[in-house]
Structure 1
Amino acid sequence: MDMSMMIKAVKELSRRGMKGYIIYDVGGGLDIPSPFLPPGGWGMLVVAAPETTSYISWANEKRAVRIIMNCPDESDVKAMCVWKKRNQPPPQQAEYWREVKGRMDKLGPILRYIFDEGSYKYWIAKCHDLVAWTTSWEIQRYFVFGTSKLWEGNKVLEYLARIVRVRGERNGELPLNAPITAHLASKTLCKLAQLMTQADFNLFVSRIRDCLMHANFGKCAMFAFLNVAFMAAIRRKLKELKPPTRRSSHRRASEVRSQEGPTSHYFLPSAERIGKKTCINHRLLYIPEVEKFPLVDGFFFMDSNPMTLVGLRMATAGGHHTTASTVRQFTDCLAAYFNSWKKLSRDMSWEIIYVQHADSTPLNDWQRCDVVNSDNVSKKESQKIAAFWEEKVRQYQVSIPSRDF
């Protein structure tokens, strides 16, 4: 039945006094909604993807209310996986869920691409290519992140964004274009950092900072530390986490030298890709390119006496204890990056800041460094590292509400 026949049929039903409701899927092959729909006494729901705009003139004419739906969350996708594999043994169900979750963590909850490996590889490659081939002439496309602007054919949003509902004024809701995953946000930020001036890049980060913090976007949110206001908010609210030894409180270097903080960023390559060592720069925020960098998500150095290493860890609720082998991996990386690390680190003090969004359950306890069996660290050295952690490392926790962004 073609469209004209369907319209004629529902109009006839309406004429006979029958009530009904039309669900019209613009993305399902249907064209622009007819101006004759819905007939009198009927309701109508037009379903469209964010990049679809063909229905807008119809919506304006009908004074339709715009409703934003969030993407499926993890529990929704897990339920779908259970249903798909309901006839298989539990171990196979669990393995399928691990595969799908791994794809979803990188690509987002895009149902047409995460359940099949071939579809996933196709779409993730297109996302990576879009970012990799971005030029300086195209960076304006990215400035719709953190706004409520319609997508209107913007490929950047189609590939890299999702729409979320956020609370606006007077408890109303607003749609917001947010990064779809930490993985794609990280690649996007790394690329834009190469193309933008520092001022433009800081402006871009300020627009999406709340999204990054709400979603616990790990090292992506490190860029917020380039913002002076954000650093000021951090300093005001730091809470020291004391070890069981009950040592005296310490005036942190970031407070003593409150005007000195990182003003630009530097991406640390993986240890295997280091060309030659460099000198420590106290004005740089060092952000690892690798996704599983040990111990911290980023760090910078304070030109204090003694010099202070400030490690930044984006933290969720629960413990963030570490191990001696992880600390050893971290110091090995720094030794590979920086000239004279062994000499400089001898008297260096450490501060670790656990940064949480205000909605998270705050960390209140000292985060341990445990001694565990490891192939790359002897038991004696592990005990030495654990003792250093408890005696020399200062820990702080800070919860940052959205208004401080």
Structure 2
Amino acid sequence: MFERHGEGNGENGTSPASTVPQGLSRARARWVSRSGQPAATCRRLEETRRPQWTLDSEVKDVLLEGELVVELIRLNDFLREHCGPRAVVDEVHNVWLGVFLMDPDAYVQDQQLLGQILDLEVYQLLQRSQKLLMDTMKLHERGVHRLEQWWGFERKDMCTPLARLKINAALKVAPKEGGEEMLEGFYDSVYNARWHHLVEVPEGEWMGMMVREGKPKQSWTYRAVGGILEKDDSVEQSGAPRPRLMVLTSDKGWPYSWILENSTRDCYVNCEVERVWQIVKDDLTEWFSSHGESEFTPEQRVLIGMPGIGKSMNAGSYLLYQLLHYDVKKLQVVAYRIADRTFMFDKATQNVSHYIGKEAGLKAVEEFSGRGMRGYIIHNVAEPIHEPFFPFASQGMVHDCGDAAGGECRQRT
């Protein structure tokens, strides 16, 4: 009755028949592979036909590989097959099996029968498949269709532990190294991102909000307090409306979203995101000042997801935009690294090159550094395993630990 996805269980290496519940011989005879071959044949071919996962593999295939297919049958058909001919419910509760799996208590009122169902190994396997199917749908709704898109997905905790385990296991065996790939039009999209801003405007006794095109005439002002920049609310805005939010729109999105689908094209900049840029800009000013230039070591800073920063979606994207607009005579290249991907922005040629894997990214940075080019690295630490790398003294760096609970932009020691 129930087929399995794929040729075998990709998680534990067992054959389809090996996990069939004991005493279910009738069902076992019909558990075949997606190709329609008998289970015995699948066992013989399993070792040579296991999936070879790549970064282009479908998340759906990874999650459902080796799992039972929830067939389009009625609940009573399932009960007669596995609990006996008298184990039935009334027609009102005789729903599709997939509906029953989502809420068993609602459709089986007999507690003794319900307990018998819940103890069935085939039921437990079907529940497992149902949960993985739900995980697949959630990921698809958020634009995660392929393995490579999982790297930059920031809501991994919305999936079940089993789903995360299967995806991460597939990523471990998927080839990750790749050469240079030029991304046409992406440099211009980021460099020419369009500005809008949200301002407060008085409306009688109330304050309203208005969206305006372009940059605001007055932005936020900061002052140094104990070596840390803080927003200075005491500075008057010369009568100009106070900005509450700035928005940068890139037609092709931002680097963190280039491995996702249906991701936002907007980068939201509030006073905290702007504060991060002011800190980095001060570092650059010191770096390129005339005194001690030959001995000065660029700052390496850690940005730990404090409230208002917006992780890489805002802070990292905004830093990239500002660094691309920084004087090209002083700063020639910007690297944006997320997960196992490195995007190299060559300001001289106004091109973006894309590299997969740590070694490929390091070689790219080494090549630019070897040509005497100065650069800045933005490293979004998507997962703890994606440790930052600090390869050369001619690079400034911010690495964004976006999942941390709190903190500040500070120098790495």
Shared fold (TM-score greater than 0.5)? no
Larger Rg: 2
Structure number with the higher helix fraction is: 1
Which has the higher relative contact order, 1 or 2, with Cα contacts under 8 A spaced 6 or more apart?
A: 2
TM-score scaled to structure 1, two decimals?
A: 0.28
TM-score scaled to structure 2, two decimals?
A: 0.27
